[in-house]
């Protein structure tokens, strides 16, 4: 009887710490789920960009000594119907303010293999990111994810974009997301961490620290 009770307690404890994709992503909201084999993108036809995306980063692949230095070209995601597709040229002329920002996966997440790296350069993985957010603040949370993957063996990563101003756009009616979230979890290690970034041109990158973006995961609404 004692062994049975202990077993039940262990099951309850494991459930307490279990995090799943469904906690943060409602796939019914996706107009199209783009399967890039190594990661997935929940794509919105209305916003012409990702609502969310998910990937598992392997600790043995990230931050290796044999990282590929040469980066591939961005390419249009042909699986998306033409009228909803974002194109490389849509960002031309906006670079000073709005970058082509890698969202679900960064190039550094996949630079262990040329075929894997190429998958990070689909335009479906790109959103308009404020230049300072893309180049100076968001990269910190990306780097942290790779560190967790190395430390824990792997890390599950979920990226979420909120579009609260449909009138804020670049070319081709691509809506600029207002808020970005990154969730990391590893149920084996009982780790769950959530971060929030405002996608603003006036981001205070000079005093920015990763800890400034930590939030209670329960505050993220599906």
Which pLDDT score is estimated for 17?
60
Per-residue pLDDT reduced to its tens digit, 38-55: 999 999 999 999 999 999
Domain 21-219 is found in CATH 3.40.1110.10: no
User: Between the CA atoms of 46, 47, 49 and 51, what dihedral angle is there, to the nearest 10 degrees?
Assistant: -80
Per-residue pLDDT reduced to its tens digit, 155-200: 999 999 999 999 999 999 999 999 999 999 999 999 999 999 999 9
Rounded Cα gap, residues 29 and 149, in angstroms: 29
Which pLDDT score is estimated for 37?
97
Name every residue whose Cβ is closer than 8 Å to that of residue 6 and which is 6 or more positions away in sequence.
none
pLDDT at 5 over 90: no
Please state the pTM of the whole predicted model: 0.91
- 67 contacts 90 by C-beta, under 8 angstroms: no
- 145 contacts 108 by C-beta, under 8 angstroms: no
Which pLDDT score is estimated for 11?
41
Per-residue pLDDT reduced to its tens digit, 64-122: 878 898 999 999 999 999 999 999 999 999 999 999 999 999 999 999 999 999 999 99
Which pLDDT score is estimated for 14?
43
Which pLDDT score is estimated for 1?
53
Q: Residue ranges per domain, the chain?
A: 21-219
Which pLDDT score is estimated for 67?
86
């Amino acid at each position: 009887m004692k062994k049975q009770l202990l077993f039940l307690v262990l099951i309850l404890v494991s459930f307490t710490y279990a995090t799943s994709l469904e906690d943060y992503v409602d796939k019914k909201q996706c107009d199209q789920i783009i399967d890039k084999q190594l990661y997935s993108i929940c794509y919105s036809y209305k916003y012409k960009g990702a609502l969310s995306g998910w990937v598992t980063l392997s600790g043995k692949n990230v931050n290796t000594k044999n990282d590929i230095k040469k980066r591939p070209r961005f390419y249009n995601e042909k699986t998306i119907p033409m009228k909803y597709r974002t194109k490389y040229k849509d960002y031309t002329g906006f670079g000073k303010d709005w970058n082509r920002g890698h969202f679900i996966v960064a190039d550094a997440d996949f630079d262990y293999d040329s075929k894997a790296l190429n998958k990070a350069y689909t335009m479906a993985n790109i959103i308009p990111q404020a230049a300072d957010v893309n180049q100076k603040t968001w990269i910190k949370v990306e780097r942290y994810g790779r560190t967790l993957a190395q430390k824990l063996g792997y890390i599950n990563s979920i990226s979420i974009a909120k579009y609260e101003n449909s009138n804020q756009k670049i070319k081709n009616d691509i809506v600029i997301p207002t808020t970005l979230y990154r969730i990391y979890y590893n149920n084996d290690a009982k780790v769950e961490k959530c971060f929030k970034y405002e996608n603003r041109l006036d981001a205070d990158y000079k005093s920015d620290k990763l800890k400034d973006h930590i939030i209670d995961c329960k505050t993220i609404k599906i």
